[in-house]
Structure 1
Amino acid sequence: MANIYPYGCFTHAIVRGIPESFGKLAEGGDGFQTDIAKAKRQMGVLTGALRQKVGLQLIEIQVDSDLPESWRIEDIAVIQGDTALITRPFKQQRCCEAEAVRRVLNELNMTVVEMGEEEGGSGGATLEGSDVLFTGKEFFVGISKHTNHRGAEILADTFRDFAVSTVPVCGGSRLKNICSMGGPDTIIISNSDGAKKTLRVMEQLSDHHYEILSVSEEVAANCIYIRGPAKVDYLLHPTAEECSDSIAAFQRLTDYTLLPTACSEASKLGGALSSFCLLINKKHTY
């Protein structure tokens, strides 16, 4: 059995910086209009919060402008305990992003599992970490343009100690665009009709009860919960400028230290706060 730690306890965060090609697509083309300097500033705020406020050890992978979507590092691996599953993004061009991530995970002596060499797209297994919600008790895998049932089956085979349920992604491009964990028993979710439909399916498939924190804006549905070394509960969430109607919902978490962290440039590309990092508990000490 893989080492299982209390939910939200992490020691390391792996990040990859914003490339000069930020906003372009992995398969080429003009991409999207973004402010690279602003994206870099926002990334700096996030990494500063993880290192200086939460107290994680930060591992920064070198920026590669030949990999325009490599900043979206969450997609490349699903990590639980001491096991890391290297995923297979829908866009085959993105598979090159895994090399540097794999190297870091091996250096950390993680058990690294590969999805294999199947063709990408609809012809084989595809899985992106932004479609995977781990609750501490079970996995939900969103079936979307980016992740298919075969990918979910490989995840279930990798993490056999946990139930794995597939759910439709309604109202967003990826599962974590519409929901995230706000604590060991709390799901933060957009109040859109599509997100509510996905939540109903999750509740039907789960044997566990979760508190639901509903937020008004979709961008507010993606947060990062971390149980800090000093037994402090941190919630990194989008800023009031990005989700003014949802701030009151976060403030209901009265025992938490709230860390507003902007992600507007990532949001333009379908990304979110959690897109920027892979969280690991290398050695549980708290």
Structure 2
Amino acid sequence: MSAFHYNFAIICRVPNSLKNRSVGSDNYPNGVDVEKARQEYETIREVLKNCDINIIELVEDESYPDCCFVDDTAVVIGNTALIARPGHSSRQGEVGEIRKVLKGDLRMNVVEIGNAKATLDGGDVLFTGKEIFVGVGKRTNEAGAQAVAEAFPEYAVSKVNFGNCEALHLKDVFNMAGRNVMAVAPGPDVQAVLQQMQDVANYPYHVMQMDSRLATDMLYVNGHLIHHVRQEMGNKSYGTLDEKILWPRHHVQLTELAKVGGSIGSQAILITRTRHPKRIISNIQDEDLGYFTMWKRSES
């Protein structure tokens, strides 16, 4: 099974407490329109179903206002799930239910972070299908990035300094739009991080430059690209997708959830689960491999 092919997604319903207790709600004195946020969430859930994904839907927990942004709670690649340790203390309790589902229901190989000083948000971990980039900065520290490298030794893992970027998470400004296509947000701070990534990358990628951060928010899954509607992306970035993306696309509206830092990718933990996980096949070819990689493929 190749990278970016998933058969399960863990998602979580929007709690009422998102309105005025979520991490980003301080910027909105009148709170968030929870009903509108739920409509946006339901649209993403249906789009994921249309991409041939089985949905595991968790009940919202009012004790954790940001629980619907599940991507920050775990990093899942292949049959391994690394339980994250979110950098904001109010979110660290969210991992309990996620751990239960990954370990008990899906029977994944669950890895815990050993270093008590480590912090790690899943939103800072970008898997390109060939290697992993970890943004070290606001929510993820060096120890958290090291935990990613230890959990996924079969991939090259590169740390990039994300502290000077205005965005909160790496995947707020970088996302995969296809197997070798990386969507990049504008701004000199983002370009500085991109230069770091290009310096340490083990593989080349096509860079698709977008003209806003919102336009960069997308999710590539099972050969489909999920992205924002035209009025949120803007005509220029939407036109870029029309020109360059040849695979099926789905557009969603995310105005309300975006107010408190929500993104399309933050709404789901995507999982590749097979009966024989050791036989998962990478889409990396022999000519892609270098001496610096730690890639190990089992014999068929």
User: Normalization by structure 2: what TM-score?
Assistant: 0.86
Range with greater deviation from structure 2 (189-198 or 273-282): 189-198
Task: Report the equivalent of 1:111.
Answer: 109
1:204 is aligned to 2:199: yes
1:281 is aligned to 2:272: yes
Among the aligned pairs, what percent are the same residue? 30
Task: Report the equivalent of 2:225.
Answer: 235
Task: Report the equivalent of 2:66.
Answer: 69
Alignment of 1:151-230 (within 5 A): 151-169=144-162, 170-227=165-222
Deviations 1:11-59 (A, max 9, x none): 01100010001144468996742111111000010000111x2111000
Offset, 1:214: 0.8
Count of residues in correspondence between the two structures = 271
Q: 2:4 is aligned with what amino acid? A: G
1:247 is aligned to 2:242: no
Range with greater deviation from structure 2 (109-118 or 23-32): 23-32
In structure 1, C-alpha distance between the alignment counterparts of 2:161 and 2:19, rounded to whole Å: 27
Q: 2:123 is aligned with what amino acid? A: S
Offset, 1:261: 1.1
Aligned in 2, Cα 1:254/1:153: closer, same or farther, shift over 3 Å? Answer: closer
Offset, 1:271: 2.2
In structure 2, C-alpha distance between the alignment counterparts of 1:191 and 1:257, rounded to whole Å: 25
Of residues 91, 96, 103, the one that matches 1:94 is 91
Task: Report the equivalent of 1:13.
Answer: 9
**2:18 aligned counterpart, secondary structure:** coil
Aligned in 2, Cα 1:64/1:31: closer, same or farther, shift over 3 Å? Answer: farther
Of residues 23, 33, 54, the one that matches 1:57 is 54
Moved over 6 A (4+): none
Task: Report the equivalent of 2:37.
Answer: 39
Q: 1:187 is aligned with what amino acid? A: M
In structure 2, C-alpha distance between the alignment counterparts of 1:28 and 1:263, rounded to whole Å: 15
Query: Is the CA contact 2:19–2:25 (under 8 Å) kept in the aligned structure 1?
Result: no
Deviations 1:172-223 (A, max 9, x none): 1110110100111110011222211111110000121000111111111121
In structure 1, C-alpha distance between the alignment counterparts of 2:149 and 2:193, rounded to whole Å: 20
**1:187 aligned counterpart, secondary structure:** strand
Q: 2:73 is aligned with what amino acid? A: I
Aligned in 2, Cα 1:28/1:37: closer, same or farther, shift over 3 Å? Answer: closer
Deviations 1:153-173 (A, max 9, x none): 011011001111111222311
User: Normalization by structure 1: what TM-score?
Assistant: 0.90
**1:183 aligned counterpart, secondary structure:** coil
Unaligned stretches of 5+ residues in structure 2: 275-279, 282-300
Unaligned stretches of 5+ residues in structure 1: 119-123, 228-232
Query: Is the CA contact 2:136–2:159 (under 8 Å) kept in the aligned structure 1?
Result: yes
Q: 1:36 is aligned with what amino acid? A: V
Aligned in 2, Cα 1:41/1:206: closer, same or farther, shift over 3 Å? Answer: same
**1:213 aligned counterpart, secondary structure:** strand
Deviations 1:129-161 (A, max 9, x none): 001100011110011211111100011011001
Of residues 147, 151, 166, the one that matches 2:140 is 147
